[in-house]
Amino acid sequence: VDGSANGTGTTLYAGTTSIPTFLSQGTYYLYDTTRGPDYIRTLSANGQNTLPGSYVTDADNNFSASNQRIAVSAHTGAVQVFDYFKGTHGRSSYDGNNASITSTVSYDDVPGGDGYNNAFWNGQQMVYGDGDGRTFSPLVELDIVAHELTHAVTGASAGLIYQNESGALNEAVSDIFAVMVDRDDYRVGEESYTPGTSGDALRYLDDPPAGDQPDHYADRYVGSQDNGGVHINSGIANKQAYLMMAGGTFRGQSVQSVGRGVTEKVWYRALTRYFTASTNFAGAREGTLQAAADLYGAGSSQARAVADAWAAVGVG
Ligand SMILES: CCC(=O)Oc1c(C)cccc1C(=O)O
Ligand SMILES: [Ca+2]
Ligand SMILES: [Zn+2]
């Protein structure tokens, strides 16, 4: 039955006789068994910090209460991200083997304190805070969901170590696929970041400095904060992917646009076939160049755009 609170056509569990024994009949759940995995499901921590929390249910499948809408947003996002990796890249769930997906919303690292301004993949599931209402509203918008589930894809493929340059690439891969799934702009977190300020975002692939990130290798952060700047230096690879998508002349280097379709194919193939746990920016250039050569030919305009975009951000 469609999740009527969001009307996205996501099949939510209807209270039927064929449901798993632990779900009660005549009650509606955010529990999808229609796409391959045993389940794609969304629960709530109800402001506490125990996982996975409890099922979000409704008597008539109209998930319209505010806590229900938060859960529906995370749930429909997870389903849309599943459909994206399956439809665009032929990948069945984050591990390529139809792993079930669990999301928990309204998680709070300090129960009773301010809402949690964070969202994360904990190695087994996705977890979303409700935000404190100032820095973030609930962090369940589509590009954040895509960012988190892409951490799971990375963990099940290249396994990019979450520190220094490999960690910045890990972050960039999550931002890149966030904007591929939430194809509305080149920004991440624009709906839930600073609800009191319109027009801003958490990060900007078109202009990383707008999010206090470098957009050139020469400006990379080399300190130890943020696991060696994983959310800082990701701006360098984010800018490279933006230049592939949109083209332009940056710091004197012209890049021909190849669009989102080529960019997502090149980055997905590099991530799943060439990147390893220790891949750095130089290695990412090699991997994306090889992926473009595989897909379009070494001398293709697509491979040229990959090289030019890396040159523009000071890599290679
Ligand atoms: C775009 C989503 C995002 O960046 O989530 C995080 C937040 C809000 C804080 C700390 C880490 C993360 C993350 O997933 O990297
Ligand atoms: Ca967006
Ligand atoms: Zn991340």
Complete DSSP assignment for 102-120: EEEEEE-SSTTSSPP--EE
Q: How far apart are CA 213 and CA 87, in angstroms?
A: 32
Residue 51: burial class (beta carbons within 10 Å; 0-12, 13-18, 19+): middle
DSSP 211: G
Residue 261: burial class (beta carbons within 10 Å; 0-12, 13-18, 19+): exposed
pLDDT value of position 1: 34
Which numbered atom of ligand 1 lies nearest the CA of 143?
1
Q: How far apart are CA 305 and CA 238, in angstroms?
A: 15
> Which ligand has an atom closest to residue 206 CA?
2
More confident residue, 46 or 184: 46
128 alpha carbon – ligand 1 mean position (Å): 10
241, two tokens: 């992917």
Residue 3 confidence (pLDDT) above 60: no
Q: How far apart are CA 137 and CA 116, in angstroms?
A: 9
pLDDT value of position 24: 79
pLDDT value of position 61: 87
Rounded to 10°, the helix 164-181/234-246 angle is 40
Distances (CA, A) of 264 to 3, 114, 120, 295: 29, 37, 22, 12
Catalytic residue among 89, 147, 151, 231: 231
Q: Hey, which residues does 101 pair with through a beta bridge?
A: 40
Average pLDDT over residues 210-226: 98
131 in the Ramachandran plot: left (φ > 0), alpha (ψ -120 to 50) or beta?
A: left
Rounded to 10°, the helix 66-89/142-155 angle is 50
Q: Spell out which residues line ligand 1, taking CB within 6 angstroms.
A: 118-120, 139, 144, 147-148, 171, 188-189, 202
Mean confidence (pLDDT) of the chain: 93
115 alpha carbon – ligand 3 mean position (Å): 19
pLDDT value of position 39: 95
Residue from 120, 121, 176 whose mutation best tests the ligand 1 pocket (most atoms within 8 A of CB): 120
**Tens-place pLDDT, residues 231-290:** 999 999 999 999 999 999 999 999 999 999 999 999 999 999 999 999 999 999 999 999
314 alpha carbon – ligand 2 mean position (Å): 26
Q: How far apart are CA 144 and CA 77, in angstroms?
A: 9
Average pLDDT over residues 60-74: 93
Average pLDDT over residues 101-115: 95
* pLDDT interval class at 10 (50, 70, 90): very low
Q: Number of C-alpha atoms within 13 angstroms, CB side, residue 245?
A: 20
189 alpha carbon – ligand 2 mean position (Å): 6
Catalytic residue among 141, 148, 190, 264: 148
pLDDT value of position 17: 45
Beta-carbon count within 10 A of 303 CB: 22
Which numbered atom of ligand 1 lies nearest the CA of 136?
8
Task: Work out the percent of the chain whose per-residue pLDDT is above 90.
Answer: 89
Is 231 one of the catalytic residues?
A: yes
* pLDDT interval class at 4 (50, 70, 90): very low
82, two tokens: 């599943």
pTM above 0.90, yes or no: yes
Which numbered atom of ligand 1 lies nearest the CA of 178?
1
Is 148 one of the catalytic residues?
A: yes
Q: How far apart are CA 203 and CA 294, in angstroms?
A: 31
Which numbered atom of ligand 1 lies nearest the CA of 203?
1
